[in-house]
């Protein structure tokens, strides 16, 4: 058994993380991380949206139901929104979704809202690394646990 095999068995869990990144700040931030050659975990899958305010709670629930282990919604810093107050709307929506997940008795820490600007490539990588580690600690989500 090679070292790689042992690693696979011991550290089998590779979380799937969906990032909804806004076109104007966070997606550009991810781009900057890329062109600056900053490494961040490859589990992260980025979905570009025109504004973080576009992300409906339904998208988030659907991501989880289709097997995402964690979801980040990333937008411009408050006051910097390309559409003036789209990110504030996103904040309200995500907070409501987190509250709803708590009512359902589910780990709301799998969902996070982050402000990442276009110049913060390094921060983008940091946030992704940290969040991936957090999800790894939580373990994979369980779908279909009530099927008996």
Give the footprint of other proteins on this chain (CB under 8 A). Answer: 56-58, 61-62, 64-66, 96-97, 99-100, 102-106, 141-148
Tell the smallest beta-carbon distance from residue 148 to other proteins (Å): 7
Tell the smallest beta-carbon distance from residue 108 to other proteins (Å): 12
Half-sphere exposure of 65 (CA within 13 A, CB side): 6
Residues 6 or more apart in contact with residue 1 via CB below 8 angstroms: none
Tell the smallest beta-carbon distance from residue 113 to other proteins (Å): 15
Per-residue H/E/C for 62-107: HHHHCCCCEEEEEECCCCCCCCCCHHHHHHHHHHHHHHHHHHCCCC
Toward other proteins, which CB reaches closer, 35 or 103? Answer: 103
Toward other proteins, which CB reaches closer, 76 or 141? Answer: 141
Toward other proteins, which CB reaches closer, 35 or 105? Answer: 105
């Amino acid at each position: 058994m090679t070292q790689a095999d042992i690693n696979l068995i011991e550290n089998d869990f590779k979380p799937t993380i969906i990032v909804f990144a806004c076109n104007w700040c966070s997606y550009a931030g991810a781009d900057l991380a890329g062109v600056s050659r900053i490494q961040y975990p490859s589990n992260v899958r980025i979905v570009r949206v025109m504004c973080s305010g576009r992300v409906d709670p339904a998208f988030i629930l659907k991501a989880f139901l289709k097997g995402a282990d964690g979801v980040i919604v990333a937008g411009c810093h408050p006051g910097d929104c390309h559409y003036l107050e789209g990110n504030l709307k996103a904040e309200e929506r995500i907070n409501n979704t987190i509250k709803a997940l708590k009512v359902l008795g589910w780990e709301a820490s799998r969902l996070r809202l982050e402000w990442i600007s276009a110049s913060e490539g390094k921060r983008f990588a940091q946030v992704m690394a940290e969040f991936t580690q957090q999800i790894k600690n939580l373990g994979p989500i369980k779908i279909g646990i009530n099927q008996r």
